Amino acid sequence: MSILHLIVILAAMGVILYLINAYVPMDAKIKKITNVVVVIAVIVWLLYQFGVLPMSSSITVPQVK
């Protein structure tokens, strides 16, 4: 993934988070929790993209049939 794609995705996430904060009526505590969760998710995603956290295949997800 190129640096341009990363910048576009980060900008889009920022706009989405801004729109949620500005236009979705929520309690301030819930907005703070939402912001923290989104920021942590973006940081973890960036760490995977830059190879700091390896994409491990040892984590298995059970398949529901």
> Is residue 55 pLDDT above 80, yes or no?
no
Using pLDDT thresholds of 50, 70 and 90, give the confidence band for residue 11: very high
Using pLDDT thresholds of 50, 70 and 90, give the confidence band for residue 29: very high
> Is residue 30 pLDDT above 70, yes or no?
yes
> Is residue 48 pLDDT above 90, yes or no?
no
Q: What pLDDT is recorded for position 61?
A: 67
pTM of the model: 0.74
- Confirm if 14 and 22 have CB atoms less than 8 A apart: no
The Cα 43–Cα 52 span in angstroms is: 11
Q: What pLDDT is recorded for position 65?
A: 75
